[in-house]
């Protein structure tokens, strides 16, 4: 098809030209004497994106899933108890990864992280057997964002010492995430979402408490070992060949995020998400996240009417209009489709995606009024434009 594909899955996301150009460099010697002069400021500035001063952010050549594994194996021992609410495919998969690594996982089900249920379970754990509370900040499969500060409060109110580990794969760099202020011990992200890079980097922020836990953690680990990475990073090196090309992209990504300003980046995502929600309401459809307190500003999972296969919407959008939407994953396969609205986007890109979605909905037998969603979203964007 002529023209470009409209990439509106919730990751991978569009790569800005500036980042693509930054990665168009020859390969280089990662043991050259001037390499640390590139790495040390990169590591320091990456911490700003995670909003941590005290912690360290590890960069692995991996994806977000590798980051999950690094966070767990460096801080826990087989048999340890962890608490992880499941409310979609990614929270489910992280819990499964913990099980495979030998943890005992308690997995309450919820629409998002059920703070009351967490409080009950942790209050009943007077012996502090639960070593870690896992939180999927933004569940990409269902478009649900949970209250991280609330989880911190629950633990503090009970005086419970468990570590808090956060999956920020579809949150960090797009929606507010404050590692130090919210007392987050481990924060996992990947390069292909809010950081607007190709897939290939698994990023893990670790607090001092998490780094201390590393000394008693008995999970087997080698490639993802924090200890050796920390030692080498201190002087601007890596223990093995880093993904240098991606690191140049990361440099440009961090610069772009900090130049725009994190509050502005978060506000932009919130505004585009609201435009998408206006379109969904105008179509007479519902989000998988029913209560506004769960609304995600990076992805909207939209429920299709009974008797319709959400896969048809995704298929029509791609085949007929070159628009890539996300399908339903796991338990919501066929029931929802997803519009990703994160990363390098502007108003007209959002409206194009909504126009394509609207056409694909009609193609799939969902009677939405032509122009209704685009009209509602464009009016909202026009009225809230600050330029």
Q: Which residues bind ligand PLP (CB under 6 A)?
A: 11, 63-65, 90, 136, 140, 167, 169-170, 190
Strand positions, DSSP E, the chain: 6-8, 56-61, 81-84, 104-106, 130-136, 138-139, 144-145, 163-167, 186-190, 201-206, 286-287, 299-303, 323-325, 336-340
CB of 337 or CB of 380, closer to ligand PLP? 337
Answer yes or no: are the C-beta atoms of 247 and 39 closer than 8 Å: yes
> CA–CA separation, 188 vs 71, rounded Å?
7
Give the closest residue to 275 by CA, choosing from 140, 382, 357, 358.
382
Query: Shortest distance, CB of residue 295 to ligand PLP, whole angstroms?
Result: 16
Query: Shortest distance, CB of residue 82 to ligand PLP, whole angstroms?
Result: 16
CB of 167 or CB of 358, closer to ligand PLP? 167
By Cβ distance, which residue is nearest to ligand PLP?
64
CB of 185 or CB of 347, closer to ligand PLP? 185
3-state secondary structure at position 139: strand
φ, ψ for residue 202, nearest 5 deg: -105, 120
CB of 112 or CB of 190, closer to ligand PLP? 190
Query: Shortest distance, CB of residue 111 to ligand PLP, whole angstroms?
Result: 16
CB of 16 or CB of 200, closer to ligand PLP? 200
φ, ψ for residue 184, nearest 5 deg: -90, 130
The rounded radius of gyration (Å) of the Cα atoms in the chain is 21
Query: Shortest distance, CB of residue 167 to ligand PLP, whole angstroms?
Result: 5
For 115-121, the CB contacts below 8 A with 24+ separation are: 115/147, 115/150, 115/151, 115/154, 117/85, 118/83, 118/85, 118/151, 118/154, 119/154, 119/157, 119/158, 121/83
CB of 61 or CB of 282, closer to ligand PLP? 61
CB of 119 or CB of 197, closer to ligand PLP? 197
Query: Shortest distance, CB of residue 245 to ligand PLP, whole angstroms?
Result: 18
Query: Shortest distance, CB of residue 11 to ligand PLP, whole angstroms?
Result: 5
Answer yes or no: are the C-beta atoms of 304 and 335 closer than 8 Å: yes
Query: Shortest distance, CB of residue 171 to ligand PLP, whole angstroms?
Result: 8
């Amino acid at each position: 098809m002529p023209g470009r594909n409209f990439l509106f899955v919730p990751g991978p996301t569009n790569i800005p030209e500036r980042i693509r150009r930054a990665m168009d460099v020859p390969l280089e010697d990662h043991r050259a004497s001037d390499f640390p002069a590139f790495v040390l400021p990169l590591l320091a500035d990456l911490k700003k994106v995670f909003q941590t001063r005290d912690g360290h952010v590890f960069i692995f050549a991996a994806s977000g899933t590798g980051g999950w594994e690094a966070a767990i194996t460096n801080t826990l021992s087989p048999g340890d108890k962890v608490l992880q609410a499941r409310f979609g495919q990614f929270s489910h998969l992280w819990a499964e990864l913990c099980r495979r690594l030998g943890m005992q996982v308690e997995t309450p089900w919820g629409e998002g992280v059920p703070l009351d249920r967490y409080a009950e379970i942790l209050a009943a754990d007077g012996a502090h057997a639960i070593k870690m509370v896992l939180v999927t900040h933004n569940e990409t499969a269902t478009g649900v964002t949970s209250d991280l500060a609330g989880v911190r409060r629950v633990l503090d109110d009970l005086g419970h010492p468990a570590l808090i580990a956060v999956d920020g794969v579809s949150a960090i760099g797009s929606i507010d995430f404050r590692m130090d202020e919210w007392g987050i011990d481990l924060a996992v992200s990947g390069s292909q979402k809010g950081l607007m890079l190709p897939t290939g980097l698994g990023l893990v922020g670790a607090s001092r408490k998490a780094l201390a836990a590393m000394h008693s953690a008995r999970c087997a680990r080698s490639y993802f070992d924090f200890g050796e990475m920390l030692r080498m990073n201190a002087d601007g090196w890596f223990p093995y060949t880093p993904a240098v090309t991606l690191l140049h992209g990361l440099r440009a990504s961090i610069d772009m995020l900090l130049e725009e300003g994190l509050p502005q980046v978060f506000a932009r995502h919130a505004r585009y998400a609201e435009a998408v929600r206006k379109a969904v309401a105008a179509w007479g459809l519902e989000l998988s996240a029913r209560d506004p307190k769960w609304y995600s500003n990076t992805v909207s999972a939209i429920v299709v009417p009974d008797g319709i296969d959400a896969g048809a919407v995704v298929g029509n959008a791609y085949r007929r209009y070159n628009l890539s939407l996300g399908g339903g994953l796991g338990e919501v396969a066929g029931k929802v489709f997803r519009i990703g609205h994160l990363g390098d986007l502007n108003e007209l890109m959002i409206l194009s995606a909504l126009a394509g979605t609207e056409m694909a909905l009609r193609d799939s037998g969902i009677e939405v009024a032509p122009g209704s969603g685009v009209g509602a979203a464009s009016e909202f964007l026009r009225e809230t434009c600050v330029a």
